[in-house]
Amino acid sequence: MMTNLFSSFDPSTSFNLSLNWLSMFLGLMFIPPMFWLIPSRYNFLWIKIILTLHQEFKVLIGNNSIKGSTLMFISLFSMIVFNNFLGLFPYIFTSTSHLIMTLSLALPLWLSFMLYGWINNTMHMFAHLVPQGTPPALMAFMVIIESISNLIRPGTLAVRLAANMIAGHLLMTLLGNTGSSLSIFMLSILIITQILLLILESAVAIIQSYVFAVLSTLYSSEIN
């Protein structure tokens, strides 16, 4: 049963370069009307979301940030939220449920932040290893704890996103597999449950995209 459940995340083609991963670029289909600013309610809503994220990320990064740096995190949010939503549609590969995808986003970001911080703000990065007010007897211990917590950041970012996407999809798959053996009354309850789960998964898709982008922004603010 577990093999059948997790097989819903497997690519359905046998090519060495699986065509399923091309689903990551399906979000580009929604960009042209937004890029040309065709007036619509969806266009207004998306611009409002982008401006809100820009103001929030600008506050998180700080006044010393490079001009236009929020664009990177808004693009990151947009890419993840498009892939999360597309994965809710039938027969569309959910790329963000795979660690190879989420780790490919988290690791280069974290590595670039660390390299920039240690090269340009070395003393500031050393100061971050010992929180303010730490007793002298615990300083060596705190350096170890802070170093470990810093090293596992890309892993926690990647696992958090992938695990949340997998959990909802597995639950929906598990409930969907029981539909053929249910009565009409139970089947109607199952359909209502699936609709509620779909709404919940839509919320999770937005929340996890936001959390990934906000944490990446916070990590970048620590190097200034």
The mean-pLDDT minimum among 4-13, 179-188, 209-218 falls in 4-13
Check: CB of residue 73 under 8 Å from CB of residue 56. Answer: no
Q: Per-residue confidence at 19, pLDDT binned at 50, 70, 90? A: low
User: What is the pLDDT at residue 12?
Assistant: 53
Q: Does the pLDDT of residue 16 top 50, yes or no?
A: no
Per-residue pLDDT tens over the stretch 132-176: 778 888 888 888 888 898 899 999 999 999 999 888 888 888 877
Q: Please say whether the dihedral angle defined by the alpha carbons of residues 70, 160, 210 and 99, taken in this order, is positive or negative.
A: positive
User: What is the pLDDT at residue 106?
Assistant: 92
Kindly provide the b/e burial profile for residues 85-118, where b requires at least 16 CB atoms within 10 angstroms of the residue's own CB: bbbbeeeebbbbbbbebbbebbeebbeebbeebe
Angle made by CA atoms 108, 113, 114, in degrees to the nearest 5: 100
Q: Per-residue confidence at 3, pLDDT binned at 50, 70, 90? A: very low
pLDDT, greater one: 112 or 222? 112
Per-residue pLDDT tens over the stretch 25-47: 766 666 655 555 667 777 788 88
Q: Does the pLDDT of residue 183 top 60, yes or no?
A: yes
- DSSP annotation string for the chain: -HHHHHGGGS-S---SS-GGGGGGGGGGGGHHHHHTT---HHHHHHHHHHHHHHHHHHHHH-TTSPTTTHHHHHHHHHHHHHHHHHTTSTT---GGGSHHHHHHHHHHHHHHHHHHHHHH-HHHHHHHTS-TT--GGGHHHHHHHHHHHHHTHHHHHHHHHHHHHHHHHHHHHHHHHTGGGS-HHHHHHHHHHHHHHHHHHHHHHHHHHHHHHHHHHHHHHTT-
Phi, psi of 49 (to 5 degrees): -65, -45
Per-residue pLDDT tens over the stretch 55-66: 888 888 876 566
Q: Per-residue confidence at 1, pLDDT binned at 50, 70, 90? A: very low
Q: Per-residue confidence at 18, pLDDT binned at 50, 70, 90? A: low
Q: What are the structural domain ranges in the chain?
A: 7-223
pLDDT, greater one: 204 or 172? 204
pTM exceeds cut of 0.75: yes
Q: Per-residue confidence at 67, pLDDT binned at 50, 70, 90? A: low
Check: CB of residue 191 under 8 Å from CB of residue 178. Answer: no
Closest by CA position to 96, among listed 31, 172, 9? 9
Q: Does the pLDDT of residue 110 top 50, yes or no?
A: yes
